[in-house]
């Protein structure tokens, strides 16, 4: 991965079988309101590649999608081809919508046990899936994940404006950084976050 013009470019080389990169925000969040990321596909040289935005507990390390709430984009072909955004949740619900943009935003919103996943198109949010899941009091971690398909194409996606809204962090403090998991090992990565906390009403 590399940084260019204020964006984080993440991807892999052609032939890298099962290439998978996972970035986790290292502060557990006890009361997530929403998490959002802007994305722009730079290229994909083969069948397809994927980019995910997800909320998972600490037990998730890259396994089955249904272990958490997520939304992802899929880029097809050497010129983009058909593109899709789909989403899922711990109950195994799944939805897919073709013809979505190669550049836009992904959003997960939480209201108690209700989760909504949406993508931005032409300036308006398109709801993809609304579902319910009880995580109990388990703190959640925001994740970014990207991978290629079985055809092992080269791919790259540019990420920007990672925004997290929450009321309070979890009780157990951890370093406010991102941890990168990949086949090459673990490295620390610092990104810019905007933390929005509820504010008291202002006097009129």
The pTM (predicted TM-score) of the whole model is 0.78
pLDDT digits (tens, 9 = 90+) for 177-199: 444 433 332 222 333 333 443 33
Averaged pLDDT for residues 25-54 = 86
pLDDT at site 196: 42
Q: Which of 144, 134, 126, 165 is nearest to 55 (CA)?
A: 144
Measured on CA atoms in the order 45, 156, 108, 182, is the torsion positive or negative?
Answer: positive
Give the model's pLDDT for residue 146.
87
Segment 121-130 mean pLDDT: 90
- Binning pLDDT at 50, 70 and 90, where does residue 170 land? low
Nearest to 118 by CA among 165, 69, 155: 69
Residues contacting 68, CB < 8 A, separation 6+: 54, 55, 56, 57, 60, 89, 90, 143
Which tens digits make up the pLDDT trace of 6-36?
899 998 888 766 667 788 877 777 778 899 9
Say how far apart CA 202 and CA 30 lie, in whole Å: 26
User: Which domains are present in the chain?
Assistant: 2-195 (2.60.120.200)
Q: Are the C-beta atoms of 101 and 108 separated by less than 8 Å? A: no
Question: Of the given ranges (18-32, 61-75, 149-163, 175-189), which has the lowest mean pLDDT?
Answer: 175-189
């Amino acid at each position: 991965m590399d940084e260019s013009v204020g964006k984080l470019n993440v991807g892999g080389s052609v032939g890298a079988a099962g290439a998978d990169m996972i970035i986790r925000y290292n502060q557990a969040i006890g009361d997530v309101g929403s998490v959002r990321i802007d994305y722009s596909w730079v290229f994909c040289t083969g069948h397809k590649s994927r980019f995910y935005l997800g909320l998972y507990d600490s037990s998730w390390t890259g396994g089955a999608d249904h272990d958490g709430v997520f939304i992802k984009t899929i880029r097809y072909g050497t010129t983009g081809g058909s593109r899709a955004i789909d989403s899922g949740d711990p109950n195994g619900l799944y939805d897919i919508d073709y013809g979505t943009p190669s550049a836009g935003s992904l959003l997960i919103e939480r209201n108690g046990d209700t989760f909504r996943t949406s993508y931005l198109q032409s300036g308006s949010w398109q709801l993809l899936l609304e579902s319910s899941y009880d995580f109990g009091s388990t703190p959640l971690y925001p994740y970014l994940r990207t991978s290629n398909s079985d055809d092992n194409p080269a791919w790259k996606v540019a990420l920007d404006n990672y925004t997290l809204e929450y009321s309070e962090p979890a009780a157990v403090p951890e370093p406010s950084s991102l941890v990168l998991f990949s086949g090459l090992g673990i490295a620390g990565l610092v990104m810019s976050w905007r933390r929005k906390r509820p504010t008291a009403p202002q006097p009129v």
